[in-house]
Amino acid sequence: MTKVVLVDAGGSNIGSVRYALQRLGADAELTGDAATIRAADRVILPGVGAAAVCMARLRELDLVDVLRTLDRPLLGVCVGVQLLFAHSEEDDTPCLGLLPGRVRKLHAAPGIRVPHMGWNTLQRRRGGSLVEGIADGDHAYFVHSYAAAVDDDCLCSSEHGQRFAAVVQRGNVAGAQFHPERSGAVGARLLKNFIEYGLQ
């Protein structure tokens, strides 16, 4: 059986992510232990709140270098995906640097509220095992104020006043800006793909 762990980066969504994984038959252990993370088959980095707070938690647990050198498939979720990038504009926070680029604040405008909260459509940009079975125009549930730009690592984008990366992958590192645990069949499919296939 595939061993899945959740990195204890802090965040109120960890319980719901665990429950979503349990529905898929994966009993993911919540851990801040480096050896347990390195021994896992799949590693998920969830996060809710501020990038600086989550990074401080990872430093406190001495997990920054563990995640930077991990040779297992790693999936960041919500703020967790933002931590994968080099830098977040939020509180001018240096992040893990596993993906190039900066995470920037979404721009509010007439009719465009920030934070971006609610269901939004996904636009497929390229294929990959992580998004197998997720179609162009499918909906996912977002709650965020910051996001990464669309680049060559973007599998799916979405739009809220501006286009942003909704699902990214580079090698064994990937992430979803939306909440898979709150995104119904689309979120369940993304998590199932990650558990079953890793990142191919």
Catalytic residues: 78, 179, 181
CB 134 within 8 A of CB 122: yes
* Secondary structure, 3-state, 96-155: CCCEEEEEEECCCECCECCCEEEEEECEECCCCHHHCCCCCCCEEEEEECEEECCCCCEE
Torsion sign (Cα): 76, 80, 86, 88: positive
